[in-house]
Structure 1
């Protein structure tokens, strides 16, 4: 297969409707318009979609009760800690696809995509077999500290449902990376939003099932899987059929290249997942499962701020990859400055609103009292403010494949944050846990990301326009 011809500005077909660049626009103008359109459309789509799971919290909490809900949140924290099961291939694939997109090399892109699906499909199948064979050997009630509050059989069922849905979704979630790499950010957000909304009637029906708690967990766990399956059928069937994975396109040589880069992302993801998702497990053992619910519910509300971080930073990954492949360093620097300001405002403002109105929201929204959670909300929000600000520069080094500085930062973050959180949880209570995470992140990760950003740019060759100054198209 030969690569399809394309214009220097990239395939205009990937631009959101109504946001196509004008004729003759340069690559930087096209890229900026596509980035802005993707973020704007994503904001609108996620504003609608995020209302669904948030509104379902009272229903889920009333159906499961505080103890079962705390167990569920702890199991979800466990799935977050094993996000390394994708071996970093999602991140590595996204980095490798960006130059393919910039150069119009669909044959190489298809080989990368096919290889990634083959590797992750085998991993997911193997892990599912091991999970079901060994589930009866693990004392799950002791692991999650719910002995005497949730029956062992029910605990095992919840664990199997959540982990199976998570494992099966590992290869299916690659479709999100493919869409981002090809700068189809808006369409990806619309699909994910539609999937979230479709989960609402399923959960409401599950509350009337004979075993309602397990049914609610099942409906929630398999919603993302069904969404990614539907998106994959559409994208590879009609949207981008030239990239459809096939067994004949699997390339062993590319698998070595992909795994070499993905291995670094893999270690970073392991460290980050362990550091950030350990909160519920730390609290469960330090303060008990009831405290997990008191912590997890505010954290779920503040996760809206985390969604804003992802909404702003993830489209930058592929856009930076396209710019770096063309040597357009001026666009990268200019965009980083703008997006840092945007990320800071987008995360700080809702954090302040939640800090002021969070107690009132919980009082009128949830069936159980949570006490004074204002400082807990402030700490959780402040963490996402930090993550969002540094994520902008992180996307540059991810696009360039410069991973080691971030890896060093995550090693220090894990070593510093986990014992600190455990100590402050027992001594100062729930509200101190996110503040300990903020301090550890600022001290360990922040400096390494700034160093990695400078190193990523130093390793690129600028275009002549970048040396002499911005082109007329870039200044528009």
Structure 2
């Protein structure tokens, strides 16, 4: 496999060590992500048959609801990623150790409080009303929600290891873990369908516990081998490291909340304004059209931390060449999106048969959304990589404030129906197609001032 990668690199004219490392991890990411996509696609019809449309809609909404709480990491994951990469680029091992320990203990303390409060609240809430579903699920949801909250808290801590791997230029590790979780979950759910009756509780418990187990094992392995010297220790936790991570992390924190509001509230809005069953076609269209974004992200992910290191070392020519290539990939991804729209009816028929009907208009709207995100993504990753994210933060924050009321307005006062939810998101992110490229040009040409340089 190594010889094949070297041959591909030679044929493509890839020469620099950084570019070779990126292309290697893009190759592995492609394999892992392809496997994850296949596993997740097989899982959808299997799950619908096991749970039925309403229960599957409840699970999708529940998953989105839990995703809202990712803001509890207050941006420290992204902050750690940038600061650890900078410290390693400058051979500052003490700071690198301090950033890791400070991030782990800070997130650990936050998660303990989060889990305690969520468990306290969970037993005093009627989740059937929250998810607009039948009272028959009351008992299952009452048992499931504490497990989901506890696992989410643990996952928030253990996921930090993927930030460390990525910052250390091991870009495909996140894809590898996602692949293991996707395939493992598929196998476990398949076994569940053979040994158990339909149960939202059993399904949700498996989906919550399995990823935590895999990430826990990765943490044990990483801090016993490659990152042994960076193993979290209380004595390495210092205020200046927290300030450094949190200073950058706070902006990422605001961006995370904004992204959650714009992208993770859709299922909840649809559930409340329509029903859990209406969430299913929406998510099927999202999963299908999202393939384009997933493929492009495989190429993008390695560049974040590589751009961080290149910017620290003032290797601007490499950054410019990298961005030119990423823009070309973005255009190819948009062409792929157009093709996917044209063949969508045939793919849906093969994939889910007659289980769910996905309107053509919904597919087109979803394609438009992904085309926009793909086109501004290269500039977004550059901005994230160098940490000049104030303007980025304001753009997403304004979009988040507008998104929910605009979604409700388009659904209630127009004839758009469910499509109005994704159209509202499209309207909120559209300005980024202008703002992000402008900021990149100003920064790379050293003409950025004011908010453009913060």
Provide the TM-score with structure 1 as the length reference. Answer: 0.85
Contact 2:97 2:231 in 1 (8 A): yes
Contact 1:132 1:160 in 2 (8 A): yes
Residue 390 of structure 2 is matched in structure 1 by 404
Q: Does 1:244 align with 2:231?
A: yes
The structural deviation recorded for 1:368 is 5.1
The structural deviation recorded for 1:364 is 3.6
Q: Which runs of 5+ in 1 are unaligned?
A: 1-14, 462-476
2:326 aligned to which of 325, 335, 339: 339
The structural deviation recorded for 1:117 is 0.5
Contact 1:196 1:223 in 2 (8 A): no
SS in 1 for 2:52: helix
For this pair of structures, how many residues does the alignment match? 440
Residue 393 of structure 1 is matched in structure 2 by 379
The structural deviation recorded for 1:415 is 2.9
Q: Does 1:423 align with 2:423?
A: no
SS in 2 for 1:234: helix
The structural deviation recorded for 1:347 is 4.8
1:129 aligned to which of 116, 119, 123: 116
- CA gap 1:460/1:129 in 2 versus in 1, 3 angstroms: farther
SS in 1 for 2:223: helix
Q: Does 1:203 align with 2:189?
A: yes
Contact 1:114 1:250 in 2 (8 A): yes
- CA gap 1:364/1:180 in 2 versus in 1, 3 angstroms: same
The structural deviation recorded for 1:210 is 5.6
The structural deviation recorded for 1:261 is 1.4
* Superposed CA offset, 1:181-224 (max 9, x none): 11101344233322322222211222323663311221122232
1:176 aligned to which of 154, 162, 167: 162
* Superposed CA offset, 1:427-465 (max 9, x none): 31223432332232113x33332343245436699xxxx
- CA gap 1:290/1:165 in 2 versus in 1, 3 angstroms: same
Contact 2:58 2:133 in 1 (8 A): yes
Contact 1:19 1:34 in 2 (8 A): no
SS in 1 for 2:232: coil
The structural deviation recorded for 1:16 is 11
Q: Does 1:383 align with 2:388?
A: no
Q: Does 1:85 align with 2:72?
A: yes
Q: Which runs of 5+ in 2 are unaligned?
A: 449-454
1:434 aligned to which of 388, 402, 422: 422
Residue 347 of structure 2 is matched in structure 1 by 361
2:176 aligned to which of 190, 193, 205: 190
Residue 301 of structure 1 is matched in structure 2 by 288
Q: Does 1:228 align with 2:215?
A: yes
Cα distance in 2 for residues equivalent to 1:131 and 1:262: 24
Residue 247 of structure 2 is matched in structure 1 by 260
- CA gap 1:309/1:227 in 2 versus in 1, 3 angstroms: farther
Cα distance in 1 for residues equivalent to 2:137 and 2:174: 40
SS in 2 for 1:32: helix
* Superposed CA offset, 1:120-144 (max 9, x none): 1111121111111111222221111
- CA gap 1:222/1:301 in 2 versus in 1, 3 angstroms: farther
Contact 2:119 2:149 in 1 (8 A): no
* Superposed CA offset, 1:138-195 (max 9, x none): 22211111144x4222233343333332221001001111111111013442333223
Taking the TM superposition and a 5 Å limit, the aligned residue runs for 1:282-321 are 282-321=269-308
- CA gap 1:134/1:376 in 2 versus in 1, 3 angstroms: same
Q: Identify which range, 97-106 or 59-68, moves more after superposition.
A: 97-106
Cα distance in 2 for residues equivalent to 1:179 and 1:17: 24
Cα distance in 2 for residues equivalent to 1:200 and 1:92: 33
1:155 aligned to which of 141, 144, 165: 141
Contact 2:111 2:154 in 1 (8 A): yes
- CA gap 1:205/1:370 in 2 versus in 1, 3 angstroms: closer
The structural deviation recorded for 1:343 is 2.5
Cα distance in 2 for residues equivalent to 1:254 and 1:456: 26
Contact 2:254 2:397 in 1 (8 A): no
2:311 aligned to which of 299, 324, 329: 324
Contact 1:354 1:377 in 2 (8 A): no
The structural deviation recorded for 1:19 is 5.0
RMSD of Structure 2 on Structure 1 (CA)? 2.6
- CA gap 1:437/1:88 in 2 versus in 1, 3 angstroms: same
* Superposed CA offset, 1:231-274 (max 9, x none): 22222212232222222222222112211211111011001111
The structural deviation recorded for 1:18 is 5.8
Cα distance in 2 for residues equivalent to 1:245 and 1:18: 35
